[in-house]
Chain A
């Protein structure tokens, strides 16, 4: 099992958070799994890590539809942080709206981070695949 230091889940749906946690812990080895219920809280935390020279989570699971600050707004702000390390950002959504797909392509192409687009439901195989380090 790959050893990963920190994983972050950003999602307002408690069931999804519960499921992802369960899947991750059974598939990979990692130190911590943090979860945030919207983009704003997550961004505040990431900005704090960066400013304090703390470890930025290596893998981020990101939901799109969230209150206060949605996934795209979070992604836009996060990509503006000058993080040299390559982070893996897994977008997890049940949306089939082509506009979301276009947004993903837009961000994917302009960032050095690895950004993937994943449709729910996520199964064990999928989790193994998308928890490979970027």
Chain B
């Protein structure tokens, strides 16, 4: 006979139980539930009494039957944790506890099932698992490991990432001493030891320590370590921290730094000026050579400045236009010869190039300029051109001289041969005498010509001419004394305005010759209508001492004769003593002393010669 539990008296009591509780009979039918149970599982508070437990919870497994059966036999077992839906279809987690249900005769008439709602706990655990997983994944991706240190039991925990960074196996058990030993001896180990000490004793956290470790397999690695103490009720209980493998970044950074250094060294030590400008033509990088050129010690003094702050306005404007052209057309300017003048007035010749800098869209974001200082080359070139000029002038002079020599000698020899021919055939004694006197004259002319040529040659070939500092005034007084008979015969007058202390550099003999020649000429070619007046004055100008000799004589038509004035055997006035040699010799002497001579003249009024004596001799 089946024992039916007596419940009617106790049912009110059961209903008030504070936990969800159900009484089932040995047929698994629900006999009585607490109100708590009812409110959770029963829709519309309908009564489940006398329904089968398995009908109400269709998801319950057969295992339950076994557990309950055992319970009916007086052997209750834990039923574990199960998920089930409440009346509102919420997912709930319960811990199921069961106990045999005894009647007053100690007979088992069913089982009492009590539920413990652990949904929150389960959910928390799930959340924790999820977070753990996430952390794990994050650690693997970012190579950021974790560690925890428990002070009380001196336990150190490494996460799998931390372990893999150390290259130890996953079952490796670290402790705080061995952990420190993985840091490379020296700076790294000292730094981490200090940080740990400070944390343990002063509660100071540490972060972003870039250190080197040596892994279990002996590899050197860069890591970033951080850590901070954890407190529980104001007491430090441990440390937690992160451990990141930054080897690749650091190596890459080091490589970048090295590359930058290499580039910088290259740029700085190139014997050319290098700069980079932004789109506003402001300098954003300059090398040492450019610094030196702009006369600054620190590039910072120049960076950010545009040409308008470094060069005169017009030059800056021109340069800016060129910059824009290069950046707009993307066509580089290569090896353009330019002369730059800084604001300080320093002039430099450059072979300059401007190359556009392109971003990844192909648009110029600036330009790089490279300028080679060719001032010295230019100077050399100028010197060379000067030398070529001098050589070609000399050459012309020589050729001219050769023609003069040839012409003069030939004309004399032609005269000789002609006169001798006449003499041979001449019968008339008187005529013979006349021819002989002509021959004598021709001979004298030849001698004179030879003397003149000799003099010219000696002026032009004597490289050891001794230039001395001479008092000009004294020399003029001397020259006037020597010429005094000639001057007085021609009733000329000399006005000497030269300061008594005026010195020039000249070959004494040349100066005598120059003074004699110019003074003689000034009087020789005097104007017939007036007395000759020669005015001498002197001044210093630049590298030269200038002697000015002006007269009130006939004057020369320089348009007509200017080119021939200093030529050999060129005369311009019908004067019996004009030989056309004086000015030629004088000019040669002045040239030989690196001087020059200038002339101005007006026909009928007079002539002014300016003789430049080089002070640099």
Instruction: Confirm or deny: B397 has a beta carbon within 8 angstroms of a beta carbon on chain A.
Output: no
Instruction: Confirm or deny: B573 has a beta carbon within 8 angstroms of a beta carbon on chain A.
Output: yes
Partner of A120, one of B414, B422, B572, B574: B414
Q: Is the interface of A mostly helix, strand, loop or mixed?
A: loop
Instruction: Confirm or deny: B415 has a beta carbon within 8 angstroms of a beta carbon on chain A.
Output: yes
Instruction: Confirm or deny: B407 has a beta carbon within 8 angstroms of a beta carbon on chain A.
Output: yes
Q: Mark B397-419, 1 if CB is under 8 A from A, else 0.
A: 00000010011101101110111
Instruction: Confirm or deny: A105 has a beta carbon within 8 angstroms of a beta carbon on chain B.
Output: no
Instruction: Confirm or deny: B390 has a beta carbon within 8 angstroms of a beta carbon on chain A.
Output: no
Q: Is the interface of B mostly helix, strand, loop or mixed?
A: helix
Instruction: Confirm or deny: B580 has a beta carbon within 8 angstroms of a beta carbon on chain A.
Output: yes
A16 CA to B412 CA in the complex, in Å? 10
Does A15 contact B570, Cβ atoms closer than 8 Å? Answer: no
Q: Which A residues are in CB contact (< 8 Å) with B81?
A: none
Does B406 contact A96, Cβ atoms closer than 8 Å? Answer: yes
Interface residues on A, range: 20 to 34
Q: Mark A60-78, 1 if CB is under 8 A from B, else 0.
A: 0000010110000000000
Instruction: Confirm or deny: B261 has a beta carbon within 8 angstroms of a beta carbon on chain A.
Output: no
Instruction: Confirm or deny: B463 has a beta carbon within 8 angstroms of a beta carbon on chain A.
Output: no
Partner of B438, one of A15, A65, A95: A15
Instruction: Confirm or deny: B441 has a beta carbon within 8 angstroms of a beta carbon on chain A.
Output: yes
Does B572 contact A13, Cβ atoms closer than 8 Å? Answer: no
Query: Do A94 and B410 form a contact, CB below 8 Å, given A18-B438, A67-B580?
Result: yes
Residues of chain A in range 92-134 having any CB-CB distance to chain B below 8 Å: 93-97, 120-123
Residues of chain B in range 417-460 having any CB-CB distance to chain A below 8 Å: 417-419, 421-422, 438, 441-442, 445
B341 to chain A, nearest CB (A): 45
Does B421 contact A96, Cβ atoms closer than 8 Å? Answer: no
B437 to chain A, nearest CB (A): 10
A120 CA to B417 CA in the complex, in Å? 10
Does B407 contact A97, Cβ atoms closer than 8 Å? Answer: yes
Q: Which A residues are in CB contact (< 8 Å) with B580?
A: 67
Query: Do A97 and B441 form a contact, CB below 8 Å, given A19-B418, A19-B422?
Result: no
Does A19 contact B410, Cβ atoms closer than 8 Å? Answer: no
Q: Which B residues are in CB contact (< 8 Å) with A19?
A: 415, 418-419, 422
Does A67 contact B570, Cβ atoms closer than 8 Å? Answer: yes
Instruction: Confirm or deny: B517 has a beta carbon within 8 angstroms of a beta carbon on chain A.
Output: no
A16 CA to B572 CA in the complex, in Å? 21
Q: What total count of A-B pairs have CB within 8 Å? A: 66
Closest to B399 in A: A97
Does B572 contact A94, Cβ atoms closer than 8 Å? Answer: no
A68 CA to B415 CA in the complex, in Å? 23
Instruction: Confirm or deny: A22 has a beta carbon within 8 angstroms of a beta carbon on chain B.
Output: yes
Does A123 contact B415, Cβ atoms closer than 8 Å? Answer: no
Instruction: Confirm or deny: B108 has a beta carbon within 8 angstroms of a beta carbon on chain A.
Output: no
Interface residues on B, range: 20 to 34
Closest to B578 in A: A67
B452 to chain A, nearest CB (A): 14
Instruction: Confirm or deny: B569 has a beta carbon within 8 angstroms of a beta carbon on chain A.
Output: yes
Does A65 contact B442, Cβ atoms closer than 8 Å? Answer: no
Closest to A12 in B: B571
Q: Which A residues are in CB contact (< 8 Å) with B417?
A: 121
Q: Which A residues are in CB contact (< 8 Å) with B407?
A: 65, 93-97
Does B422 contact A15, Cβ atoms closer than 8 Å? Answer: no
Residues of chain B in range 62-76 having any CB-CB distance to chain A below 8 Å: none
Partner of B572, one of A67, A96, A122: A67
Residues of chain A in range 16-71 having any CB-CB distance to chain B below 8 Å: 16, 18-19, 22-23, 38, 65, 67-68
Q: Which B residues are in CB contact (< 8 Å) with A68?
A: 571-574
Partner of B411, one of A38, A67, A94: A94
Closest to B568 in A: A65
Does B414 contact A94, Cβ atoms closer than 8 Å? Answer: yes
Closest to A37 in B: B574
Does B403 contact A15, Cβ atoms closer than 8 Å? Answer: no
A127 CA to B438 CA in the complex, in Å? 21
Does A15 contact B410, Cβ atoms closer than 8 Å? Answer: no
A123 CA to B414 CA in the complex, in Å? 10
Does B414 contact A121, Cβ atoms closer than 8 Å? Answer: yes
Partner of B418, one of A65, A93, A95, A121: A121
Does A15 contact B442, Cβ atoms closer than 8 Å? Answer: yes
Query: Do A97 and B403 form a contact, CB below 8 Å, given A15-B419, A19-B422, A121-B417?
Result: yes
A19 to chain B, nearest CB (A): 4
Query: Do A22 and B414 form a contact, CB below 8 Å, given A67-B570, A67-B580, A96-B403?
Result: no
A65 CA to B569 CA in the complex, in Å? 8
A61 CA to B573 CA in the complex, in Å? 22
Q: Which B residues are in CB contact (< 8 Å) with A22?
A: 422
Q: Mark B563-583, 1 if CB is under 8 A from A, else 0.
A: 000000111111000101000
Q: Which B residues are in CB contact (< 8 Å) with A120?
A: 410-411, 414-415, 418
A18 CA to B571 CA in the complex, in Å? 22
B418 to chain A, nearest CB (A): 4
Q: Which A residues are in CB contact (< 8 Å) with B571?
A: 67-68
B344 to chain A, nearest CB (A): 52
Q: Which A residues are in CB contact (< 8 Å) with B578?
A: 67
A65 CA to B438 CA in the complex, in Å? 20
A22 CA to B415 CA in the complex, in Å? 13
Q: Which B residues are in CB contact (< 8 Å) with A16?
A: 411, 414-415, 418
Q: Which A residues are in CB contact (< 8 Å) with B569?
A: 65
Closest to A40 in B: B574
A25 to chain B, nearest CB (A): 12
Closest to B409 in A: A94
Closest to A92 in B: B414
A69 to chain B, nearest CB (A): 9
A29 to chain B, nearest CB (A): 19
A121 to chain B, nearest CB (A): 4
A19 CA to B573 CA in the complex, in Å? 26
Query: Do A95 and B442 form a contact, CB below 8 Å, given A19-B418, A123-B421?
Result: no
Query: Nearest 6 pairs between A and B by C-beta?
Result: A120-B414, A67-B571, A94-B410, A94-B411, A121-B414, A97-B403
Known: A96-B410, A121-B415. 4 other contacts (CB 8 A): A13-B415, A15-B441, A68-B573, A94-B411
- A interface residues with partner B (beta carbon < 8 Å): 13-16, 18-19, 22-23, 38, 65, 67-68, 93-97, 120-123
- B interface residues with partner A (beta carbon < 8 Å): 403, 406-408, 410-411, 413-415, 417-419, 421-422, 438, 441-442, 445, 569-574, 578, 580
Q: List 27 A-B contacts (CB under 8 A).
A: A13-B411, A15-B415, A15-B419, A15-B438, A15-B441, A16-B411, A16-B414, A38-B574, A65-B407, A65-B569, A67-B570, A67-B574, A94-B408, A95-B403, A95-B407, A95-B410, A96-B403, A96-B406, A96-B410, A120-B410, A120-B415, A121-B414, A121-B417, A121-B421, A122-B418, A123-B418, A123-B421
